[in-house]
Amino acid sequence: MGSIDLLPEIPQEEVKEIEKKGKLNVFGVFSVLFVVIASLAILSFNLFSRLDYNRKSQQLVDSEGEVRALQYTELKQRTLMAKVRTYSSVREHDFSSDVVLSYLRDVVSDLSSVSSMYLDDAMTFSVRGRTDSYMNVARIWHNMAQQEDYFEHVNLDYVRMDKTDDGTVVIFAFSGVMIKEHVDNL
């Protein structure tokens, strides 16, 4: 006895159509899989690019901070160097006027009495005073001229004799220039 097939046989056209749909379904699955893999690749590339960008941005920020710190250090160093140069410049022109005036007084006061003295930054000086005779004025002038280490030049501006109740007095005025380098050693 043979079996009875209750299901009718599928026609060849339907079989071809089912195979065609199966192939399309496999192609669709592969297409979706390709799109998913491509999307994952693009997302991974974007993630790595973003991480690299953030790392490089942080390096740039760190480098800018270092540059600012170095600029600040350089600015402080330039300011310090300017202060040192200014101090050195001022120090070159600095001298103790009290010591120089005291020295001038000592040179002149052995033979006379000093009435006024003047000294400026350029080491130009003037001394006015009075003494008993023209000979003392000549000695003072000679003493100053002999001290070539301290006096660049000495001029006798004027000398005159005045009569007072105590007798005669010779009034004089000297001017000149002192040598700054040597005056610092006083």
Q: Do 168 and 161 meet the contact criterion of CB atoms below 8 Å apart? A: yes
pLDDT for the residue numbered 117: 92
Residue for token digits 């046989």?
9
- Single pTM value for the model: 0.50
- The Cβ-side half-sphere exposure at 84, using a 13 Å CA radius, reads 6
Q: Do 134 and 170 meet the contact criterion of CB atoms below 8 Å apart? A: yes
More confident residue, 86 or 69: 69
pLDDT for the residue numbered 16: 73
pLDDT for the residue numbered 185: 65
Can you list the positions of beta strands (E) in the chain? 113-119, 124-131, 151-164, 167-178
* Angle at the Cα of 39 from the Cα atoms of 38 and 45, rounded to 5 degrees: 90
More confident residue, 128 or 108: 128
Tokens of 83: 């202060």
Tokens of 122: 């350029």
Listed range (7-11, 67-71, 123-127, 166-170) with the worst mean pLDDT: 7-11
pLDDT for the residue numbered 28: 77
Gap between the Cα atoms of 150 and 173, Å rounded: 18
Q: Do 104 and 127 meet the contact criterion of CB atoms below 8 Å apart? A: yes
- In this predicted model, what pLDDT tens digit does every residue of 50-61 receive, in sequence order? 999 999 999 999
Gap between the Cα atoms of 38 and 150, Å rounded: 95
Listed range (68-72, 77-81, 112-116, 163-167) with the worst mean pLDDT: 163-167
Interaxial angle between packed helices 134-146 and 97-109, expressed in degrees from 0 to 180 and rounded to the nearest 10 = 130
pLDDT for the residue numbered 92: 62
pLDDT for the residue numbered 23: 67
1, pLDDT greater than 60:
no
128, pLDDT greater than 60:
yes
